[in-house]
Amino acid sequence: MTAPRTAYRSGGFTLAELLVAVTLLSIVMTSVYSLTHTATRTWRSIERGYDIHLEARSFMTLFSHEYNNIVGRASHLFEGDNRRIVMFVIAQPMDLEQGEGARLMRVSYAYNANRNIIEREEALVQAALPVPEPGEHAASSGRVRLGRRHKTTVAEHVKQFRFRYVWAPLPVVVAPDEPPVPEPLIIQNRHQERLGLPQAVEITLELQDPDDAAQTFSLTTMLPMRAPAPRSTREDLENTLGASI
């Protein structure tokens, strides 16, 4: 006797069914990869303790705090160029051995392009700030008596950094009964001693993720000067600033 044969379905999946299944599988795998990649990057960022946005925010908070506490009577000692700025401020020293409390300090911020970092250097002022001698426009910073210098890195992985100095000329008054005509800003790449305080400082900052060169964060902001900064006409500014415009 022979066993009865079982009938099997001869047909399989259709081409349309296979395409739908492959498409759904691709979507699921792409979503899983994206979530895994994002989680891995986040974990690596937390592990190394570096956050590109936090780094920029920390630097700008520190700089703007000290910038807003510039000492007006030291306006003639303010100086800088594209990569470095020097100012006299009243702030808390970062050197813990100097104790607590706000002090009068000479603070400089400088961009080190070789190491891609921004360095901050502070030194306590140990005597009264020098005043101009008779016949001088202003005293030189070389006569300031400073204490021990303390240098700290305040930003890392800096791809680009730049300071610029902004002057706002007094508007032109056409007629007493008409509004004044605004004057274009004067923006310099360098600021020398004895020029006084500008009306603002422009900062351009670009940071790069050390593990992903395609991930960058950049900003350009203009910080108004809170210390007294007398304004002048464009003609007076051109005479004072001279070739540095």
pLDDT tens column, 19-32: 888 888 888 888 88
Supply the mean pLDDT for the chain: 85
Concatenated DSSP letters for the chain? --PPPPP-------HHHHHHHHHHHHHHHHHHHHHHHHHHHHHHHHHHT--HHHHHHHHHHHHHHHHTTB-GGGGGG-EE-SSEEEEEEEE--S-GGG-SS-EEEEEEEEEETTTTEEEEEEEEE-SPPP-PPTT-SS--GGG--EEEEEEEEEEESEEEEEEEEEE-PPPB---TTSPPBPPPPEEES-B-TTS---SEEEEEEEEEETTEEEEEEEEEEEEE--S------HHHHHHHHGGG-
The 10s digit of each residue's pLDDT in 63-105 is 999 999 999 888 889 999 999 999 999 999 998 888 788 999 9
Report pLDDT for 136. Answer: 56
Residue 41 — very low, low, confident or very high, per pLDDT cuts 50/70/90? Answer: low
93-151 residue pLDDT tens: 998 888 788 999 999 999 999 999 999 999 999 988 877 665 555 556 667 899 999 99
Q: How confident is the model at residue 46 (pLDDT cuts 50, 70, 90)?
A: low
> Mind listing the pLDDT tens digit for each residue in 155-184?
999 999 999 999 999 988 777 788 888 889
| Domain ranges for the chain | 50-244
Q: Which residue has the higher pLDDT, 125 or 38?
A: 125
pTM score = 0.75
Please report the pLDDT score of residue 151 as a whole number: 95
What is the reported pLDDT for 139? 57
- Provide, rounded to the nearest whole percent, the portion of the chain with pLDDT above 90: 48
Instruction: Express as a percent the part of the chain with pLDDT over 70.
Output: 83
